[in-house]
Structures are given as structure tokens and as C-alpha cells.
A and B are shown apart, each in its own frame.
Chain A
């Protein structure tokens, strides 16, 4: 039996480039161009434990591999969810996969959101578009340990109401008394009864105590830039602001060189950074 063999043979040193087999247990379409894959390890003895904000390299047979953040509950690592948008060759192929088919996973890689540092603080999560996906594990963790945190606010901006991901869950979160969820869209038609405007506009009036707040921001780089400015303006200490960066990645382990941002290997030194640490790099062009 395969599992017996694995137990009796000494574990060979695994090359960091070797994926683990995972099976698609559920495929869920979030919006017209984003989808979530629910994955379980093909090897029942293997569990891929992760921290909120980390990512995996996801391999599609014969097509390639892409880094995708893990968007599921870190308290339940038996089911891993990857939410992504169809933007390239690999994600387009991924989108055609069916339940029961397989992908390869390597990971988890990278730094995570500061869930320990944020304890006893108010927490503000600012998400733009698909940037909500890497923040969702953080929210799961906070909700599971709600008593350890102060006020918790999720500010979420998308292009239009149709681009909102995790719709069902957002509804559930909105109904919680100890979580404030503010959603805004860039444009809407008359049937949208929510806020219209860029996500940065939510920051000045969100209910949190800026001096005692830890902020985590994830979305397109330009959205993060403006959001950070607004958070600082509101009085959030610059050292309490965290962002998650996106760079090209081929390996996830600091060997391929693609994700470099000056001295940083975003795959292992990031993707989550304390903003004050990378501020000079953040505003430099084409670095």
C-alpha cells in the first residue's frame, strides 16, 4: 500500500520545486471572471498548513504554475481554497478544470498578515477587487478569536456590484454585530443601494480608533498607495500599516530571481510587508 511505503521508507529530501498532488473537490464561480477552487490533498497523510496571507504555487498539468494566495480558513487546512481571476494562460486553463481533476501545489510560501501583532488593537482590512481573497483567511482567524481584537472593520472596493467576490459570506459578515463591513463600488446602476466611490473614501468615516489600529491593505498597487495615504491621514501609525505586494514569481523560494524588488525577494521576504519597511521602494518607478 502506498501509504505504508511512505511510512516505512526514510523521507527523501524533497526538492522545493516538487508539487504535492491535490484534488478539486469543488469549483465555484465568484464573478464572470473570477473563480474559487476548493482543494484537498490526494495524499491523506499530507496537510498543507498555512498562515493568513501566504500563497501556494499552483500547477496545472502541462500548462504551468502560478502563485495564488490561499483564501480559506487557516483553522481548517484540510480544505484549501484558491480564488483567482482568469488573466493568463495558466489561470485560463485552471478555469476549465472540473471537480475530481487534479492540480499540483507547492507551498505555503511567503510572509503572513500580522494577526499576533494586531491583538488588542482595532483591525482595519482594506481590500480592492480580488485583493479580498488573501485577506479572507485573516478575517476567518480574527472571527475565530474575536475576543482578542478590538473593533474590526472590513473596507472593500470593487469596480461594480457584479465584481464583488464572496457575496454570500459578505452578507453573513455584514449581519455580525462585532464586525463592520463597508463596501463601495466604482460605478453602479440604480438597483445598487450601497456606496459608490473609490475604496479610499471609506477610510475617513470607518469606525475605528486610528491611534490603536493595525491596518492590512491588499489590492492593486495603486489602490494600496492611495489607501495607505488615507490611513496615515486618518492617524493610523505608519508602522501599523501592512500591504501585500505582487511580483512575477517562478519558484516561490527565492531562487528564480523574478520577484526581486531591490534587496527583497517578494516571494520569501514578502508578499506581506510592513509598509514603513518598503515605503521607499513602493514609490520608486519600475524597480
Chain B
């Protein structure tokens, strides 16, 4: 695979990579500044990247900040995850049309765009793999997701500067991208500003061969290694994942859930920003004549009461039970369902929670034996 080995690309030549992707028909999505935040969106040139930008993330807080240099990737990731491009927020499932007594149904098979994800972080590559397990690897395949997912070209960026709410090291999902990419970039800032580039696939290799890059020196490789070691040691958050599934199942009646429910607004922000939350609902519409109907699938959130409604009412009436469902699903039952936790440690749910609920803190509290639980399990 690594025919060309690791290469060094000058930052001002990065455009050649974007051009090589565009010329192959890829629609390039990458980080860009919009609405006071870094978001993933269409980008055409390096100028669209958040050049010289960084961000401060804390629980319930997100602020963009200027750097004194022209760093290209000195922030963590987009506030919106890549999920929106593959498991789209809204998708028409089918159209139906009345014909007398009967009606016809036609699935909506719009052609899938060919995406290049530029600037994907290691945690996000792991999130993609988790989403694949839900929508591709089970007995039923989501054809819309499959069509969008299949051709994507991934340019990964190693995280040199973890954010305040990051904990990928705890979840074993970063900060260095080890697989699942076509090309991986490491931005080296010390001394001369340069990009260490490596291919992870034949497609990546092909693009790399067209770039005006030079072989990397041992000093470059050492610098990159140091950077990754450093980043690993500077996670904003920590989550004790050891034996977490059993601990959470055992804590099912812990009084701390009620305490969280006092703060939780059940707004569903965390489920929207989470790169692995996959729940959807279906909405039906008809036109004014009632002759034409459509079925749409939309993202849904387990924080709403209707989410679990059966004819007798909602199964999860209390906010406590809904928060418990979300957190327990993410960090425990996901293991039973798909073999790993459904959390990659990106920290978005912490940053974007309007009341600053921090799942790493909550897990810690839930691991402490419940004092108020009378006669319960130890």
C-alpha cells in the first residue's frame, strides 16, 4: 500500500489535493466557519478552511478563537457530525399516488452524490464504522445509506490539539487515525509549517502520486509521533470505560438518574450532534387533493415522550427514564447490540448541551455506590 511512503506537502500546495479530488468528480465536504462555529459543509478551496482558527469547548460552551498563525487544522471538529451527509436528517422514502381504489408506491431512489470527506478525525472514522454496523451490517440494509456510504473518499486529519470536551483516548478511538482513510494528514507546526501525508488505500495512493510532495524525513516522522503522544496526554475529559456496561446495568435504579433529570431539558441536542445516534421516525404527508402522498424519514430523539408511545401511552414517561435510555444505550446496550460502545469520545454532547450535562461526570457519579438506595444491590 505505502508505495510512496510518507510524504511532506507544503500547506500552500494542499489545493492540489482538493483539485485532484474535484477532477475525479468528488463533491468535497470539509470544515469551514459558519454561524460562529466550525461546521462541515461544501468546500472548494483551501481558503474555505478555518485557516488560523481554533475553538474553545467546555460543557455548554463553544467559542471560536483566532490563532496567531495560519494553522489549517488546529481545532477539533465540526459541530455537526458527518452523519448528516450519509444518514441524512430527512429523506423521502417513497411517493404514493392514488389510482381509483388503488394506489401505486414508488421508492425514492435519487442518485447518491459522490462525497470526499476532507478533514475527518479519528473518532469520526470510528463513528462511521459504528453507523455502518447499524445500517449496513445487520440483516437489513438501508439502501439510501449504502448508496451514499459506498463511494466516499476519506481524507483524515490527525488531532494534534484535543478539545476541552474530548475523551477519545478513553474510548480507544484516537487521536491518531489508524485505518479507514484513503489519505491521512498530520499538520506539523513547529519550525517550518508542513503537512505529513500518507495513503491508506490504492485510491489514496493514486492521488498522492499526483501531488507535488517530497519524501518525509525521520525528523518529520519523529515530530508527528511526538505530536500524537502529546495529544494523547492532553484530553479535556476522561471516561472510565472499564466494565462500564455492567456498572451501568447495575446502576439502573441509581438515585443519580433522578438528579440528572432535574437538569436535563430533554431537548435532544445531544442526540442531534452525536455522530452515532441513528434513531429516526417516519412522517406521512398528502397533497391538498389527497391524491398524492409521501413518506419521509426524519431523525428522531429518544428524549421525546412520543418516541416510545404504544397505544397505552409512553413507555418512558419520565425524563429520568429517557436520559437513562440514552446514556445506557450509548455506553452499555450498544455493546450488546453491535459489539462496542456507541460512544467515540468526541465530546459534542457535552459541548452542545444547553445546561452543560457532562456524560463523563455523570458516569463517574453513577459508578459511586448509591447511598440513598434502600436495600438495593451493593
Do any beta carbons of A and B sit within 8 angstroms of each other in the complex? yes
By a beta-carbon cutoff of 8 Å, the part of chain A in contact with chain B is: 13-19, 21, 23, 42, 59, 61-65, 85, 87-88, 98, 100-102, 104, 220, 246-248, 250-251, 253-258, 260, 262-263, 265, 268, 284-287
Asked whether A247 lies within 8 Å of B310 as measured between CB atoms, the reply is yes
Contacts A/B (CB < 8 Å), 24 sampled: A15-B142, A16-B141, A16-B143, A17-B107, A18-B93, A21-B103, A21-B105, A61-B98, A61-B293, A62-B286, A65-B295, A87-B311, A98-B101, A247-B315, A248-B307, A253-B138, A256-B279, A256-B281, A258-B281, A263-B336, A284-B252, A285-B321, A287-B315, A287-B316
B285 on the A face (CB < 8 A) = yes
Given contacts A17-B297, A286-B317, contact A102 B336 (CB under 8 A): no
Task: Please report the C-alpha to C-alpha distance between residue A248 and residue B57 in the assembled complex, in whole angstroms.
Answer: 36
Cβ contact within 8 Å between A248 and B308: yes
Given A15-B143, A19-B105, also A257-B300 (CB < 8 A): yes
Q: Does B48 contact A (CB under 8 A)?
A: no
Q: Which residue of the partner chain, among B101, B297, B300, B324, contacts A258 with CB atoms under 8 Å? A: B300
Q: A21-B103, A250-B282 are in contact. List 20 more A-B contacts (CB 8 A).
A: A13-B143, A15-B107, A15-B142, A16-B142, A16-B143, A17-B94, A17-B297, A21-B102, A63-B284, A65-B282, A65-B295, A88-B311, A104-B105, A248-B307, A250-B300, A254-B139, A255-B135, A260-B333, A262-B333, A286-B321
Is B280 part of the contact surface with A, judged by Cβ < 8 Å?
yes
**What is the chain A residue whose CB lies nearest that of B337?**
A263
B280 contacts A255, C-beta separation under 8 Å: yes
**A253 & B140 in contact (Cβ 8 Å cutoff):** yes
Please give the residue numbers on chain B whose beta carbons come within 8 Å of chain A beta carbons, in ascending order: 93-94, 96, 98, 101-105, 107, 134-135, 138-144, 249, 252, 278-282, 284-286, 290, 293, 295, 297, 300, 302, 307-312, 315-318, 320-321, 324-325, 328-329, 332-333, 335-337
B311 adjacent to A61 (CB under 8 Å): no
Cα separation A64 to B306 with both chains bound (whole Å): 15
Beta-carbon contact of A257 and B278 below 8 Å: yes
**Chain A residue, CB-CB nearest to B282:** A250
Secondary structure type dominating chain A contacts:
loop
B140 contacts A16, C-beta separation under 8 Å: yes
Taking a contact as CB atoms closer than 8 A, the residue among B107, B139, B280, B315 that contacts A251 in the complex is: B280
Question: Which residue of A17, A268, A284 contacts B93 across the interface (Cβ within 8 Å)?
Answer: A17
Docked complex Cα distance between A102 and B310 (Å): 25
Please, which residue of chain A has its CB at the minimum distance from the CB of B98? A61
Alpha-carbon separation in the docked complex, A13 to B279 (Å): 23
Using Cβ atoms and an 8 Å threshold, which residues of chain B touch A64? Answer: 282, 284
- Specify which chain B residues have a CB less than 8 angstroms from the CB of A23 in the assembled complex: 102
- Distance in Å: Cβ of B306 to nearest Cβ of chain A: 8
Interface centre among B134, B281, B282, B312 (most CB of A within 10 A): B282
Determine whether the beta carbon of B282 is less than 8 Å from that of A268. no
- Find out whether the CB atom of A268 lies under 8 angstroms from the CB atom of B311: no
List the B side residues contacting A87 at CB < 8 Å: 311
Task: Find chain A residues with CB under 8 A from B297 CB.
Answer: 17
Contact of A255 among B98, B105, B278 (CB under 8 A): B278
- Give the nearest-CB partner of B96 in chain A: A61
- Docked pose: A17 CA to B142 CA in angstroms: 8
CA distance A106 to B281 in the complex (A): 16
Residues in B whose Cβ lies below 8 Å from that of A286: 315-318, 320-321, 324
Complex alpha-carbon distance, A248 and B332, angstroms: 21
Q: How far apart are the CA atoms of A61 and B101 in the complex, in Å? A: 11
Tell me which residues across on chain A come within 8 A of B295, comparing CB atoms: 17, 59, 65
Give the chain A neighbours of B134 by CB distance below 8 A.
254-255
CA separation between A15 and B136, bound complex, in Å?
12
The 5 closest A-B pairs by CB, nearest first: A263-B336, A257-B279, A286-B321, A62-B293, A253-B140
Interface residue from B94, B102, B139, B300 paired with A268 (Cβ < 8 Å): B139
8 Å CB contact of A248 from B252, B290, B309: B309
Q: Which of B139, B280, B311 has the most CB of A within 10 A?
A: B311
Q: How far is the CB of A160 from chain B (nearest CB, A)?
A: 19
Check A253 against B143 for contact (C-beta < 8 Å): no
Which residues from B are CB-within-8-Å of A88?
A: 311
- Output the least CB separation between A36 and chain B (Å): 17
A19 CA / B105 CA spacing, docked (Å): 8
Q: In the complex, what's the smallest C-beta–C-beta distance from B293 to chain A, in angstroms?
A: 4
Question: Do residues B94 and A18 form an inter-chain contact, with CB atoms below 8 A?
Answer: yes
Q: Is the CB of A101 within 8 A of B101?
A: yes
Contact between A61 and B103 (Cβ–Cβ < 8 Å)? yes
Asked if B328 contacts A262 (CB within 8 A), the reply is yes
Q: Which residues does chain B contribute within 8 Å of A16, judged by CB atoms?
A: 140-143
Q: How far is the CB of B133 from chain A (nearest CB, A)?
A: 11
Q: Which residues of A contact B302 (CB under 8 A)?
A: 257, 260
Using known A-B contacts A65-B282, A258-B281, A260-B333, determine if residue A253 contacts B139 with beta carbons closer than 8 Å.
Answer: yes
Instruction: Provide the bound-state CA to CA distance between A87 and B310, in Å.
Output: 10
Per the bound structure, the CA–CA distance linking A18 and B138 in Å amounts to 17
